[in-house]
A and B are shown apart, each in its own frame.
Chain A
Amino acid sequence: MSSRYVRPYGDTTGDGMIQTSFTLPIPYGPKADGAAQQLANKMGMDPAMVVHSNPIGDDFTFFVVYGSVKHIVDLDEVKVVEREYPLLSPSEVNTTLKKVLRRKLVVVGGCIGTDAHTVGIDAILNIKGFAGEKGLEYYRELKVVNLGAQVSVPELVRSARAEKADAVLISQVVTQRDAHILNTQEMSAAFREAMGDKRPLLVAGGPRFDPLMAAELGVDRVFSRGTTPGEVASYLVHAMQEKKGVAA
């Protein structure tokens, strides 16, 4: 039976041990170590051991600190998006889609804004796939249109319309000045304006997205780090079933 309250585990239950490292903008020496100790204490590490420090140039010092944190995690207060749909195999995805739609499901994807990092969208869409799972191109009942990098929002909307997309997948890796959030909001607003309720399912993915942000971003679903093509395909099936269920 798992308990509601947990602490970090070093080598003994409840010891609260963690490890962290950081740099302070002060010269190397005993005073620097003391400063690191103070920071660790303020972070809730008590006792804290500064196990290593070394100078980086004349003005900076790097530290490795081990210690026990006094904080306790209350699992009842942890809020995450739990997957509310079953994980399907590619053949299950194909059969279900065939039954529900009686045609191929059209997916349009790309990296929007100035983002040129296609690694995420390619991992999901390209037949090559990710983590041993084949990408969406592999699924017989999916038609995938990968627009690649640096797709403008109007271009994306145009393509989605031309392809009669059921779902639009966008990927965002670059996060400077919240570019990923602003780009995604711009995208969802553009779809709402252009197509209203008839808009395709909007899915955003990227390593720095929080799955809880779907509403804020104006999209139907957010996928974060480590998502596999199978999870996305299973979600698309689930969402299509829901949609049909409502319509029927």
Chain B
Amino acid sequence: MALLDLDPKVVATARKLAARAAEPVVSIAKAHTTVAVERATLRLAGITGADSTHRAGDVPWVNRVIDTVREQCGLEHGVVLPAFHALKEHDLGTLTELAEATAAGQIQFRIPEKKDLTAAKKAATSAVAKGLKTVDRNRAQRDKLVQKLGDPAQRPWIYLIVATGDIDEDVVQAQNAARAGADIIAVIRSTGQSLLDYVPEGATHHGFAGTYATQENFRIMRAALDDVSKEVGRYVRLTNYASGLCMPEIAVLAGLQRLDMMLNDSMYGILFRDINPIRTFVDQRFSRQVHARAGIIINTGEDNYLTTADAVDAAHTVTVSQLLNEHFAHEAGLPDHLLGLGHAFEINPKVPDSFRLELAHALLARELFPDAPLKWMPPTKHMTGDVFNGYLLDGFFNLAGVLTGQSILLVGMMTEAVVTPFLSDRDLALQNVRYVLNAAGSLAEDFRPAPDGLIVKRAHQVLGEAVDLLERIVDDGLLNAIADGTFGLMKRPADKGKGADGVIEKASAYFNPASEMLEAQA
């Protein structure tokens, strides 16, 4: 390690600046709640199911309750106080019964006082604690299975995507992929799910370019991977996406169903989905606290910046985002070993020395975050449809991953940007990975970039540019920097974007037992 001879003082400065840039945003996140955080809390407290009689199609019960509470007494005190008070007042057994009564118009929600307040707090706390206990049990179960079956024999772990739209087909593809060598299966979500302000219910069979993230789909896939884990003799991990308008709820569902990794970026939703910045930061903080509790590895989305900006010119924005993601994650209680910070192989192959530049960037990430399970993502922008060239490019991507000690390798498809991968595309892609990992072996041991060579110089330059940019962000304010299009060239003002109306400033008497218990763990 330490091939780049980075100046520890510069690295420390970079971290300090990231912390200062993040500070005002963390304060905002602490001072607000959102409809999604409140829904996540009720899900932890045990609410399930959906209202199937609604004319707009299935509406999750949790949405019915939250919307009604908000209408009748606001959410600034949190949902649990009015909800658990109503539960007692109407002598109902479960939150789902409360939801049914709410839909029937039988409930008038209000903020309880005095003895009622104490009783509601107590009931809510014990219900949420039960949910967190399930999350804890799942974490222990994962540890047990990993111990029994083992982790993948090699690093990087091999990460493969399935995306048929039908959970039953996904199971077939995922199990086959695991048999062919995949260590991690990610089920890509249906296009547009990130902009739904509710989580669909049940097993689903009709997604667009992906499969809906639902609690039942999570359960089905985890069970299928448990089966195939036994067969292949290693614990195969499952990934989904805690992003979009339901980030906190999906984080809770992932914890309840023992998912192992979740895509969770501090700014992706803002930049690429035009979700309101405040909504995103509030949701992100809660969701990361839940992930920390569940022992879930987060995957951040720096690869996305390079799909819109140039991978050489904007290399330092990746570093800046990694540092911000790291800070936000630490602040939410996630330790280094759960930080799958992202980066990608996206330099135009026509640029001279493009491979050396890739190595410089990849090595910089490796040395800045030595204990983080870095996620290394394959070329997409320069995959042209020439599948033969694409296959070669993916081979170089794999080689860079081995040489620079990446932790998680997302398998590149030569048919990227052409079609959703064929069975044979996936098989060929895995052959490519296996060949490179096997042929290169421990080549990293012999890889020593020249101290004053291009790779070392380039890494220093990118880190320097990252520090400069962080200084500007600290001066300007992170929210202003986002508004000005600093990341991924997208301009996102703090008062605009989807889901802004779901942000609520907390009252001084705000109460949320989930937040309190999660806050205490950090």
Instruction: Give A contacts to B, CB under 8 Å.
Output: 21-23, 56-57, 60, 62, 114-116, 118-119, 122, 126, 128, 148-150, 174, 176-177, 179, 207, 225
Contact = CB atoms under 8 A, between A and B. Distances in A.
B417 interface: yes
A115 B273 CA distance: 10
Nearest to B422: A23
A114 B195 CA distance: 9
B31 to A, nearest CB: 29
Nearest to A25: B423
B208 A177 contact: yes
Contact of B274 (A56, A57, A149): A149
Interface string B281-323: 0000000000000000000000000011110000000000000
Contacts of B176: 56-57
Given A174-B208, A176-B208, 7 more contacts: A23-B424, A56-B424, A60-B424, A62-B427, A149-B274, A150-B274, A174-B209
20 contacts: A22-B424, A23-B423, A23-B424, A56-B423, A57-B180, A114-B191, A114-B195, A116-B192, A116-B273, A118-B308, A119-B381, A122-B489, A128-B310, A148-B274, A150-B195, A150-B273, A150-B274, A174-B208, A176-B191, A207-B385
Interface residues of B, number: 26
Contacts of A149: 272-274
Contacts of A60: 423-424
Report whether over half of chain A's contact residues are helix, strand or loop; otherwise say mixed. Answer: loop
Nearest to B176: A57
Interface of B: 165, 176, 179-180, 191-192, 195, 208-209, 272-274, 307-310, 381, 385, 417, 422-424, 427-428, 489-490
- Majority SS at the chain B contact face: loop
Contacts of B195: 114, 150
Contacts of A225: 385
A189 to B, nearest CB: 21
A215 B101 CA distance: 53
B191 A122 contact: no
Contact of B179 (A21, A57, A116, A177): A57
Contacts of B417: 207
B385 A119 contact: no
Contact of A174 (B191, B423, B489): B191
Nearest to A119: B307
A174 to B, nearest CB: 6
B274 A176 contact: no
Given A116-B273, A207-B417, A225-B385, A128 B309 contact: yes
Nearest to B498: A150
Contacts of A179: 208
B248 to A, nearest CB: 21
Contacts of A207: 385, 417
A153 to B, nearest CB: 15
Given A114-B191, A149-B272, A174-B209, A62 B307 contact: no
A174 B422 CA distance: 17
A116 B423 contact: no
A176 B211 CA distance: 13
